[in-house]
Amino acid sequence: MNYSAELVELIEEFKEIDDKMERLEMVFELADEVNLLPSDQWTDSTRVHGCQSEAHVKIGLVNSNVNFQAGADSKLVQGLMGILTMAIHGCDANIVLELTPNFASEMGILNSLSPSRSNGFRNMFDKVMNEIRTQLEAQL
């Protein structure tokens, strides 16, 4: 998948930051990019399993474009959700399915996280992709 211009810019910005604290600060700021899934809509079906925090995602398709909502009790996790929002929200679902979690590795953000957090990110990514795939198939 070709990354959106916004995502390419973000990857470049992350690559330029050497300081771990500044990189984490940037992830924190990206928490604001999330289309918030309010906590009263968190259910077992929205929950990202294998994540140490409470992390929830909800996928909808609008004319085959991805509508991504998410929320977490950790601002860092919500920041990761913000990055995923920039990568997939509003994009064509068929194109989104070509995405791999490599973009997060390219940013170097997974190296800044504990192994459990980076596993959590991958679990979130897999859950989102599976939901998109399921909903696309249901439309056929």
Q: What is the contact surface with another protein in residues (CB under 8 A)?
A: 19-21, 24-25, 28, 52-53, 73-77, 112-114, 117
3-class secondary structure per residue, 55-76: EEEEEEEECCEEEEEEEECCHH
Q: How far is the CB of 116 from another protein (least distance, A)?
A: 8
SS3 of residue 131 by DSSP: helix
Residue appearing with tokens 């604290």? 21
**Closest of 73, 35, 37, 70 to residue 52, by C-alpha:** 73
Nearer to another protein, 74 or 85 (CB): 74
Nearer to another protein, 85 or 112 (CB): 112
Q: How far is the CB of 24 from another protein (least distance, A)?
A: 6
Nearer to another protein, 70 or 77 (CB): 77
- The continuous run of DSSP H or E covering 1 comes out as none
Nearer to another protein, 47 or 133 (CB): 47
DSSP bridge pairs for 118: none
Q: How far is the CB of 54 from another protein (least distance, A)?
A: 9
Q: How far is the CB of 74 from another protein (least distance, A)?
A: 4
DSSP bridge pairs for 91: none
